[in-house]
A = this chain, B = another copy of it.
Amino acid sequence: MSAYSVGVDFGTESGRAVLVDVASGAELATAVYEYENGVIDHYLPAPHDDVRLEPDWALQDPEDYVRTFQVTIPTVLAQSGVDAADVVGIGIDFTACTMLPTTADGAPLCTLEEFRREPHAWVKLWKHHAAQPEADRINAVAAERGELWLPRYGGKISSEWFYSKALQILDEAPKIYAAADRLIEAADWVVWQLTGTETRNNTTAGYKAIWSKQDGFPADAYFAALDPRFEHVVDDKMSRQISSVGQRAGELSARAAEWTGLPPGTPVAIANVDAHVAVPAATVTKPGTLVAIMGTSTCHIVLGDHTATVEGMCGVVEDGVIPGLFGFEAGQSGVGDIFGWFFDHAVPGGIHNLAGQGQISVPDLLEQEAAKVRPGESGLLALDWWNGNRSVLVDGDLTGLLIGATLATKPPEIYRTLIEATAFGTRAIIDAFESNGVAIDEIVACGGLPERNQLLMQIYADITGREFRLAASSQTPALGSAMFGAVAAGGAGGGYDSIVEAAGRMARLREESHRPDPQHRAVYDDLYAEYQELHDYFGRAGNDVMKRLKNIRARARAS
């Protein structure tokens, strides 16, 4: 009998379902639902589109998530011709921290008429950046109290994370805070919608809500120090019952069965996070391999059999990626975004014309030309901080730098230099892990960026000195969710008993592999030494000119 699993990946602009053959991992059908209300960052949706949002806000509509199930799962069933009865499990993954306030029975406050015009009642998307004052308070109070959990997060809690957002609700809309029986990750909320049962996954709890298997959440006294009304946020609004990824959350409810066309009772996996679920989908279930999920930014995940304190990592969570192992996360806040900036703002008309004549895209032409430049030959070097530095410096106020320009400098040389800079940034992260006992022997990447760019892969191999391979799937999060769906079914239910087993059967790498070229490595070692010197000079207070320029900029804008 054939067995299939469905993975649903909730992204920033859309949700995507993939129907996968459990035995082989073959992706039989894919469907995408573009969220009707997309990212809500200027006005609330009609008829409340007279309510204007402050800058840096980013909301979503939870009904878009339900519509994702309603649209995509029936579509993949129809496309593939698979019998719904042969679907053995469902898994989901989500952006994080993406969170919302609900009633005790899971109704989002924003769906209730009385709260519909209240921005704080809606889903706060991961990239909602308006809670910086709260994040600053969270960090200041933690530092003051010497909270022991702070080093697990590279010394800094982000404005994007759970308590920053929760505290912003309390600060700015105490009535909403009071009305919320639950503050919950959207990841867990959609699983609740599928199963009728509230669960909390350990990945978002660990990486975004300062939870650990050993120590649980921060003490109530810490929360009280942030705001007396916040003292019991965990017991009042959350849950101390945390489930590990790889477990079953429950079974498909009758209502959700109707939405999706799947049989009631279909096993549903504990929710997961998009980057983290991609790791086993990229075949990685053991220590020693860095998974780089590369797109506009890069998320790095590596597994370890023991914990460690690593400068500038985003977090380490036991069982947070693969049960039984510690999952370390780090990140680069600008990668594809920097190349996109370059394409949009610094590629001269002549290159566009050449690309048009050659019927080739501008990025492809630039890649072709940049590939002809030998390592070191341009005399250029860059610091890849166009969007700040997440790891290892954890400093959003750092900015991009290009050095070595001459009158002979050509655009493909600059493009190559920007790629190299992001690779040096990755090497700095690898160095931080390795110098703290977390080994990294090879790199497996996934995401659209490396798939489209052979040169990038070779440069990363040359600069990191590691073999660089690529996941076979071009939708690793959705595949990973389907794999966790198969694990929720269990071996007896037509799936697998563990994610390691599922990864062994369902995940693959591409045949191609990029190995470091010894000659290139030598040149890049020299360039990396220069990168490090500039990195430390500008990033570790040798010269705080980047911050001062930002201050001057802020004053100029305010004047």
Interface-located stretch among A34-42, A235-243, A397-405, A428-436 = A397-405
Copy number in this complex? Answer: 2
Residue contact B380 to A407, C-beta cutoff 8 Å: no
Residue contact A386 to B407, C-beta cutoff 8 Å: yes
Residue contact B348 to A349, C-beta cutoff 8 Å: yes
A62: min CB distance to chain B, Å: 29
Please report the C-alpha to C-alpha distance between residue A402 and residue B401 in the assembled complex, in whole angstroms: 6
Within 8 A of B (CB), among A461-515: none
Residue contact A403 to B556, C-beta cutoff 8 Å: no
Residue contact B523 to A556, C-beta cutoff 8 Å: yes
Residue contact A399 to B405, C-beta cutoff 8 Å: yes
- Set of chain B residues within 8 Å of A530, measured between Cβ atoms: 545, 548-549
Across the interface, A545 reaches (CB within 8 A) one of B345, B386, B533, namely B533
Residue contact B374 to A556, C-beta cutoff 8 Å: yes
The answer, yes or no, to whether A250 is at the interface (CB within 8 Å) is no
Residue contact A376 to B526, C-beta cutoff 8 Å: no
The answer, yes or no, to whether A67 is at the interface (CB within 8 Å) is no
Bitwise, A317-355 to B at CB < 8 A (1) or not (0) is 000000000000000001001100100111111111100
- Set of chain B residues within 8 Å of A378, measured between Cβ atoms: 553
4 closest Cβ pairs, A-B complex: A400-B405, A379-B553, A376-B556, A377-B556
Residue of B nearest to A380 (CB): B549
Query: Given contacts A348-B344, A557-B377, are A545 and B549 in contact (CB under 8 A)?
Result: no
- Set of chain B residues within 8 Å of A24, measured between Cβ atoms: none
Query: Given contacts A405-B399, A406-B400, A555-B376, are A549 and B349 in contact (CB under 8 A)?
Result: no
Please report the C-alpha to C-alpha distance between residue A401 and residue B378 in the assembled complex, in whole angstroms: 14
The answer, yes or no, to whether A410 is at the interface (CB within 8 Å) is yes
The answer, yes or no, to whether A306 is at the interface (CB within 8 Å) is no
Q: List 12 A-B contacts (CB under 8 A).
A: A345-B409, A346-B346, A349-B349, A349-B353, A376-B552, A379-B550, A386-B409, A401-B404, A401-B405, A404-B549, A523-B555, A534-B543
